[in-house]
Amino acid sequence: MYDFAPTDAADKATLYADLLSAADALTGAEPDSVANMANVSALLWQFLPDLNWAGFYRLVGDELVLGPFQGKPACIRIPMGRGVCGAAAATGETQLVEDVHAFPGHIACDAASASEIVVPILRDGRVVGVLDLDSPKPARFDSDDTAGLEALVAVIAARVG
């Protein structure tokens, strides 16, 4: 049985350090990428406040295909370059969007989403998927979230891709 829980620390650096430690412990010895994506999405849901979606899209051919997640049912397939997830996959760069309604071509899987962060997952220098987090709060994500999530993805990339 695993019993991971965020500490009551007020700062994001400690929160993300705890999240990364838990994700590393859960995925380090597990070879199945789907199991690892499922556990990491559950940890994100548990550790990070004010989310309405947390999960993965895998790059299959020339489109992103829904992977394990927490939240409401989501879009199943996203073309490369379309929406926030497609932009992250096409550019290989994290997309931090304070207001999804102002993002050209945003795909609204959940009308309650107001802000989003998408981190590309790179393996051997190529995008293999993305980590996607949505929030009903405008400007929910900041540079601390970017740094924390990019560090997380760097640790788990070979375990989920």
Answer whether residue 1 shows pLDDT above 70. Answer: no
**pLDDT of the residue at 5:** 72
Please give the Cα distance from 43 to 78 (Å, whole number).
24
Residue where the block lists tokens 């293999």: 128
Which percentage of the chain shows pLDDT scores above 90?
82
pLDDT on residue 77:
96
On the question of pLDDT at 106 being above 80, the answer is no
Greater model confidence, 117 or 110: 117
Q: In the sheet where 126-135 sits, what is the strand order? A: 77-79, 63-71, 53-60, 126-135, 115-123, 95-97
User: What pLDDT score does 10 carry?
Assistant: 65
